[in-house]
Amino acid sequence: MTTAVFFDLDLTLLRYTADFETIFDRAVPDAPDGAYDRYLSVFFDAFEDLAVDPYAVGFEAITGEFDIGDDPEALVARYAEAELAATTVPASAREALVRVADRRPTGILTNGAPAVQRAKLERHDLAGVVDAVVVSNDPAVASRKPDSGVFEAAETALPADDYVYVGDTYDEDVVGARDAGWEAYHVGDDGPGDDPAAVESVAEAAARIFGEDDA
Ligand SMILES: [Mg+2]
């Protein structure tokens, strides 16, 4: 029996040192009033519609509607760099991922734009650690958590008998994984606190995956 393990990326393996608005302000200094809110609204609509580059859709909208002295391509590039620069990977999370990847088929399953999610993995030298990377807004996937399609894409990417998912968002990650027939570990503090999936950390999830929780 082979068990494959997939990890969520944002706020499971990655931490952020700045919030969305701060990242936006770094990419678009002196943005006109309302530009950020409009960007965010268009971005999330495009994200949920599975656009391959929701950042471009968002910046195209605000450069058309506000007086911003840059073209959308330049803004997308600056925003991506600002977002990447605001990410960190705790050593404990990296160690846990490497530990699991040494012993199980291991992948990343993430809701996001393929170019940006893959750039985060490259930036933190995580791409080479895992065997598969599945991103919701990749046109070949075109399904986002909690929908089962993205989990099915992960099963196709990494054939195994059983699957485990480790994520921080209860409704997307834990509920989505279970609906797809997967086991789940939950590293976040949303959702019911008494769920047996709850763990304190990615390291604890790895320990439970290896049956070490009573050690
Ligand atoms: Mg997450």
Whether 129 is in a domain gets the answer: yes
Does residue 10 sit in the same domain as residue 38?
Answer: no
Q: What is the pLDDT of residues 127-169, one digit of tens each?
A: 999 999 999 999 999 999 999 999 999 999 999 999 999 999 9
Over residues 13-36, the pLDDT tens digits come to: 999 999 999 999 999 999 999 999
Residues 138 and 194 placed together within one structural domain of the fold: yes
Q: Is residue 173 scored above 70 in pLDDT? A: yes
Q: Which phi and psi angles does 50 have, rounded to 5°?
A: 70, 30
Q: What is the 3-state secondary structure (H, E, C) of the chain?
A: CCEEEEECCECCCEEECCCHHHHHHHHCCCCCCCHHHHHHHHHHHHHHCCCCCHHHHHHHHHHHHCCCCCCHHHHHHHHHHHHHHCEECCHHHHHHHHHHHHHCCEEEEECCCHHHHHHHHHHCCCCCCCCEEEECCCCCCCCCCCCHHHHHHHHHHCCCCEEEEEECCHHHHHHHHHHCCCEEEECCCCCCCCCCCECCCHHHHHHHHCCCCCC
Whether 145 maps to a domain, the answer reads yes
Please report, for the domain that includes residue 193, its CATH number.
Answer: 3.40.50.1000
- 44: CA distance to ligand 1 center in Å? 15
Distance 100 CA to ligand 1 centre (A): 18
Same domain, 94 and 32: no
Whole-number Å distance, alpha carbon 85 to ligand 1 midpoint, is: 18
Which residue among 70, 85, 100 closes a domain? Answer: 85
How remote is the CA of residue 70 from the centroid of ligand 1, in Å? 31
Q: Which residues in 28-63 are b (16+ Cβ under 10 Å) and which e?
A: beebeeebbebbeebbeebbeebbebbbbbbbbbbb
Task: Give the Cα separation of 112 and 166 in Å (integer).
Answer: 16
The predicted pLDDT at position 213 comes to: 63
Instruction: Give a yes or no: residue 68 inside a domain.
Output: yes
Q: Is 215 inside a domain boundary? A: no
Mean pLDDT for the stretch of residues 112-133: 97
Taking residues 170-174, report their average pLDDT.
Answer: 97
Q: How confident is the model at residue 198 (pLDDT cuts 50, 70, 90)?
A: very high
CA of 68 to the centre of ligand 1 (A): 31
Question: What total of structural domains would you count in the chain?
Answer: 2
Assess whether 93 and 165 both reside in one domain: yes
CA of 137 to the centre of ligand 1 (A): 15
pLDDT at 215: 45
Q: Which of 59, 85, 111 is the last residue of a domain?
A: 85
Are 112 and 199 in a shared domain? yes
- Domain final residue, candidates 60, 85, 110: 85
What pLDDT sits at residue 214? 52
Which pLDDT tens digit goes with each residue over 3-14? Answer: 999 999 999 999
Are 79 and 128 in the same domain? no
Indicate if 119 and 196 belong to the same structural domain: yes
Average pLDDT for residues 112-122, to the nearest whole number? Answer: 97
Position 188 pLDDT exceeds 60: yes
Percent of the chain at pLDDT exceeding 90: 94
Residue numbers of the domain that contains 64:
20-85
Confidence of residue 69 (pLDDT cuts 50, 70, 90): confident
Q: Mean per-residue pLDDT for 183-205?
A: 93
Give the chain's mean pLDDT.
96
